[in-house]
């Protein structure tokens, strides 16, 4: 599997993932478990690969050797 998530996209995904996961601590009741959705952007940022980008043919990083 190749990388299709660029560095700016990676930072945005990490921030969004942390904000969503913080719902586990700040939102009362069962609604807090929606914060687990924050794991998805965190995992895709850490592995630099997004399955949705693959289906849509999107790449936010530059191909290797294009310098």
- Global confidence as pTM: 0.85
Q: How many CB atoms lie within 10 A of CB 30?
A: 7
Q: Where are the domains of the chain?
A: 7-56
Q: Quote the tokens at residue 27.
A: 């939102």
| pLDDT tens figures, 8-63 | 999 999 999 999 999 999 999 999 999 999 999 999 999 999 999 999 999 999 87
3: DSSP letter: -
Is residue 67 scored above 70 in pLDDT? no
């Amino acid at each position: 599997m190749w990388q299709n998530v660029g560095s700016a996209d990676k930072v945005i995904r990490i921030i969004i993932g942390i904000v969503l996961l913080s719902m586990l601590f700040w939102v009362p009741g069962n609604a807090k478990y929606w914060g687990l959705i924050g794991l998805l952007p965190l995992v895709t940022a850490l592995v630099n690969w997004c399955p949705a980008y693959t289906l849509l043919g999107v790449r936010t990083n530059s191909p290797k050797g294009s310098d």
